[in-house]
Chain A
Amino acid sequence: MSNTHADTVLFVRDTMLPQKNPPSTSVGAVGWARENLFAGWGNTILTLLAFAVVYYLLAGILPWLISPTFGAESLTECREILAAKGVGSHGGACWGVISERWKQLLFGFYPAEAYWRPILTFVLLFVAISPVLFADYVTPKLLWFTALFPFLAVWLLWGGSLWTPVTVLAGFVVGAVFLSMGSKIGGAIVGVIAAILGAVLWWAVAAAPLASGLSSVVEIGLLPVESRDFGGFLLAITLGVTAIFGSLPLGIILALGRRSDLLLVKSLCVGFIEFIRGVPLITLLFVASTLLNIFLPPGTNFDIILRVMIMMTLFAAAYMAEVIRGGLAALPTGQYEAADALGLDYWKAQRLIIMPQALKISIPGIVSTFIGVFKDTTLVSIISLFDPLGLANAIRADGAWTGIYWELFIFIGVVFFIFCFSMSRYSMYLERKLQTGHH
């Protein structure tokens, strides 16, 4: 056969043909549309239906949204503007309420000349959490600032003398000094006891006189702001951030307790976690608003925002404990065994080996807990605090804006959406980043 091949084949191609372009119907926009929108009859009908729904929604909402009423000073004025435009008095949104009240929705009744303080705090918050959130890009030395931030934030937000947070902070320094001295003398346990005693003594006896003494020498202070002036998104963010960062240490302790071998410690932790997770947050807020005064010694009366903060911290701690427990359970047993094999004791193993890994795995869960707690801060409007929804009711109580709903809801909803959506995107980015390490 092979001998006759050359005689029978008259033509042999010796050059390659140039590649042809794929048919125009399978590439580019047309190809994409054929594949993703019009693949088959059923698919085409679904697409057309979806377009119809989108068109119907947009046609209903857009003309209402685009409405030149930013300058209006009351609902009646809005309706007049709209009627003059010929779209009917209810045919458009009344954005005057937003342009007049947006500062109030963001800051509540915080004094206007001090708006820079919450804004600065908010910016510093990002600086403080950046070593945790963007560990790849930021120097770990910033963690010192993270430790200082709570004191700075309290001082910036509530104002008053600088020396109060400084002396409270000094209590921790005193505790640390006692810890190192005590451990040298009598071992770790004596050190811990000495540190706690020292710090508590400092706060109880020395802190207040020292602060007033220092402020009589050098007066550094900001205009004090009462808690009841907090409102709007300032209140929501303050509550949410406090609850999350307060709940982290508590949640770690609860999670460790729940995994502990000590039956009593374990059952106490399980009881606490399941109790908090089993009741609605609103009942805990009722406890904060009505019962906390009954539970505490007669005469203690601290402000409602602090009480709500405590309750929300406890609430978040139970959920945080479950998130961290998940992170602990996800660690391979080999890590625990390796720590034991190195001869580390329980706390050293937790601090050096287990927690750094478990917390890293839990960050997406922590972020979604934070989103949940942040959204749940709206519940404080039910116990008459002025969070954004509470403020919306207050604005509606004003004669000029009685009967206005949608514009306020849209503004509040959009701000919440921006916060929560960007946080959930961040946590997805983190999940992707963490996933590449394994598999």
Chain B
Amino acid sequence: MTTSTDPSEGTFKLSMLIYDTRYRSITIQIVALIGFLSFFGWLAANTISNLSDLGKEPSFRFLGEQAGYDVNQRLIDYSSQSTHLRAAFVGLLNTLLVAVLGCVTATVIGVFVGVMRLSKNWMIAKLMAVYVETFRNVPVLMWIVLFMAALIESLPAPNKFRGADPEATMKVFDSVAITNRGVYIPEPLFSRSLGDISVGSAFDISLDLIAILAVLFAGLWGARKLRQRADAIQESTGVRPVTWWARLAVVFVPIILLLVALGFHLGYPALKGFNFQGGTYMRNSLIALWLALSLYTAAFIAEIVRAGILAVSQGQSEAAAALGLRGNRIMSLVILPQAMRVIIPPLISQYLNLTKNSSLAIAVGYMDLTGTLMGITLNQTGRELETVLLGMLIYLAISLSISAVMNWYNNRMKLVER
């Protein structure tokens, strides 16, 4: 059978490259490769000739030069004497800061709104629907600019806090100052600090922070061991030992002891001169960006959560009720674990969107990666090609790592099918 349909070997004709399916795929791929390479070659040739006309040579040496500009919101030490590389790093940390803050708040608000939108209470459900539709049908850039304007226009200036009978007062037991320049919150301080260790003379990492994290993780690990032991005892004897106080103690007692040993206290902001001093300062731009991104993304997350819960069939909750489970337990043991499988993939893409949208910080002057590397550094050094490409690469790396982590989690949660 096969001999009659197989074309004879050896009679290779040039036209077989196109008409014979055995060779055609190779032909198409080679043509595609040639097309792709020649397109890139053309772009590269243009770029080289254009840059040499402008008298610029592509190089990343500018990253080692002195930046000469100040970054007002920063997580690590930085001054205008620092290098462009360090400025870019400060920007990257700011991007990550607002992305992490935004993802956490957006998830909390989004889950809350999504669940409430399914409420049997008509009024609550409608209110949540209005919130969702309002936020997701208006561009996020407008929300960012609007929140910024709202903060500047409606909050009191620092000098309103002055005097015997001030117009504005500090909130939460005189510890938080909300002004039109930003919000000052108490900062953690250690009177018997362990000091810092420097990594490659570029970054200082606080040993206090490392110690606290180490003790915290040890405590959590201990609590987990205790729970596993309780599970094992329940399996073998049928009686579950009461462990909740031991589990709480093993987490909190060491942390509290450590904090006392380090001399932990809060540094409160206080009005000095024209502005508040001390405390942790969160600029307006950070807060506006954070609020706008969280509320905007939360509207999308709410819809995802709602769709996920609705995707779990009615029979599941009825079966759970028939087993005698109560409302809360039906939600936490039966509905949510199944809804999570539907929720997580679109949730990942919302986190990615939020991270990418954080680049709109440039509209309110928050110095994120776009503001430092692709903003001021670009303007000062005139290196459009290098800065924009480097910035895009960094964003790409962030996006790919978020999706890698989330895909790993998604695979773990996935329904195991036989």
Are A and B co-members of a single complex?
yes
B399 within 8 A of A: yes
CB contacts (< 8 Å) of B139 on chain A: these are 375-376, 378, 389, 416
CB contacts (< 8 Å) of B134 on chain A: these are 417
B228 within 8 A of A: no
Which of B36, B122, B140, B357 lies at the interface centre, i.e. has the most chain A CB atoms within 10 A of its CB? B122
A237 within 8 A of B: no
A262 touches B28 (CB 8 A): yes
A339 to B18, CA, bound (A): 22
| A-B CB contact pairs (8 Å), 26 listed | A36-B122, A39-B120, A46-B121, A46-B124, A47-B124, A262-B29, A277-B399, A278-B396, A279-B356, A280-B357, A283-B391, A286-B388, A294-B46, A296-B46, A297-B46, A298-B50, A371-B137, A375-B139, A376-B139, A379-B141, A389-B139, A389-B145, A405-B149, A416-B138, A416-B139, A416-B142
B142 touches A389 (CB 8 A): yes
Closest to A415 in B: B138
B206 to chain A, nearest CB (A): 31
A421 touches B137 (CB 8 A): yes
- 0/1 per residue, B377-397, Cβ < 8 Å to A? 010000011001001100110
A291 touches B384 (CB 8 A): yes
Stretch in contact with the other chain, from A50-58, A96-104, A123-131 = A50-58
A37 within 8 A of B: yes
B49 touches A298 (CB 8 A): yes
CB contacts (< 8 Å) of B33 on chain A: these are 264
Which B residues are closer than 8 A to A by beta carbons?
18, 25, 28-29, 32-33, 36, 43, 46-47, 49-51, 53, 119-124, 127, 133-134, 136-142, 145-146, 149, 153, 352, 356-357, 359-360, 362-363, 370, 374, 378, 384-385, 388, 391-392, 395-396, 399-400
* A233-283 interface with B by 8 A CB criterion: 261-265, 268, 274-275, 277-283
A23 to chain B, nearest CB (A): 21
A375 touches B140 (CB 8 A): yes
New contact pairs (8) apart from A375-B139, A389-B139, CB-CB < 8 Å: A37-B123, A46-B121, A278-B396, A286-B374, A287-B388, A296-B46, A375-B140, A379-B141
CB contacts (< 8 Å) of B123 on chain A: these are 36-37, 46-47, 50-51
A70 within 8 A of B: no
Q: Count the A residues whose beta carbon is within 8 Å of the partner chain — how many?
A: 54
A420 touches B138 (CB 8 A): yes
Closest to B143 in A: A413
Closest to B54 in A: A294
CB contacts (< 8 Å) of B121 on chain A: these are 36-37, 39, 43, 46-47, 50
CB contacts (< 8 Å) of B29 on chain A: these are 262-265
A424 within 8 A of B: yes
CB contacts (< 8 Å) of B25 on chain A: these are 261-262
CB contacts (< 8 Å) of A36 on chain B: these are 120-123
A262 to chain B, nearest CB (A): 5
A45 to chain B, nearest CB (A): 10
Which A residues are closer than 8 A to B by beta carbons?
36-37, 39, 43, 46-47, 50-51, 53-54, 189, 261-265, 268, 274-275, 277-283, 286-287, 290-291, 293-298, 371, 375-376, 378-379, 381-382, 389, 405-406, 409, 412-413, 416-417, 420-421, 424
CB contacts (< 8 Å) of A268 on chain B: these are 32, 36
Closest to B402 in A: A278
CB contacts (< 8 Å) of B392 on chain A: these are 279, 283, 287
CB contacts (< 8 Å) of B138 on chain A: these are 375, 413, 416-417, 420
CB contacts (< 8 Å) of B378 on chain A: these are 290
- Grouping DSSP codes into helix (H, G, I), strand (E, B) and loop, the A interface class, with mixed when no group exceeds half, is helix
Which of A280, A290, A389 lies at the interface centre, i.e. has the most chain B CB atoms within 10 A of its CB? A280
The one of B32, B47, B362 that contacts A294, using a Cβ cutoff of 8 Å? B47
B92 to chain A, nearest CB (A): 13
A37 to B126, CA, bound (A): 12
A412 to B51, CA, bound (A): 41
B362 touches A295 (CB 8 A): no
A22 to chain B, nearest CB (A): 20
A378 touches B141 (CB 8 A): yes
B374 touches A294 (CB 8 A): no
Closest to B382 in A: A290
CB contacts (< 8 Å) of A405 on chain B: these are 146, 149, 153
Closest to A413 in B: B138
The one of A278, A376, A381, A409 that contacts B149, using a Cβ cutoff of 8 Å? A409
